[in-house]
Amino acid sequence: MNMTKKTIGIYPGTFDPITNGHADIIARASKITDELVLAISTSYSKNPMFSIEERCALAQIYLEKYGIASNVKVMKFDGLLVNFASKMGVSIIVRGLRAVSDFEYEFQMACMNSRLNGNIETIFLPASEKNQFISSRLVKEIASLGGSISAFLIPEIEEKVVEYYKNKK
């Protein structure tokens, strides 16, 4: 009888909106885990553009349209990541790194998470070369100023972001 333990990973974030850079990390992380939880944080302090329900729905659209990993499930969470991860049976937290500047913050978070729950490891995946500069914050800034964001998002999500800023005027 095969008693191997499943490797469950979690890729947490605000995903406001989910970008091609996020999708790249999701696709790669799903290859090194048996299951991957795309954990979308309520992130009230960040004052997100989309509600938690909208962000979950947009992430699901992304996964379905591009067939990214049948082993990925989208879930929302609030509170401490390590508590949610523990409830989900997670052993790996996946974090993407775009630049050296991301590393300092992410390293501090990894150390703190390890202190809070030593059974969960953090792994860092560097952004692929074509996605290194993409961030939701920059995408929103470009969109708010009327610039094209089509290179950073799938059309369905681009449409929602553009609509958001049109309605804001």
Residue 140 appears among annotated catalytic residues: no
CB 112 within 8 A of CB 142: no
Of 43, 73, 91, 98, the active-site residue reads 98
Residue 55 appears among annotated catalytic residues: no
**How far is it, in rounded angstroms, from Cα 64 to Cα 132?**
24
Domains of the chain, residue spans: 8-168
Q: What is the distance in angstroms between the CA of the first residue and the CA of the last residue of the chain?
A: 62
- The two counts, helices (H) then strands (E), for the chain are 6, 5
pLDDT, the chain, mean? 92
Q: pTM score, two decimals?
A: 0.92
- HSE of 140, CA atoms in CB hemisphere, 13 A: 14
Model confidence at 102, in pLDDT bands (50, 70, 90)?
A: confident
Task: Report pLDDT for 98.
Answer: 87
Q: What is the pLDDT of residues 31-88, one digit of tens each?
A: 999 999 999 999 878 889 999 999 999 999 999 988 887 899 999 999 999 999 999 9
Task: Report pLDDT for 21.
Answer: 93
Is 8-168 CATH 3.40.50.300?
A: no
Residue 144 appears among annotated catalytic residues: no
CB 20 within 8 A of CB 131: yes
Pairing of strands 8-13, 92-97: parallel
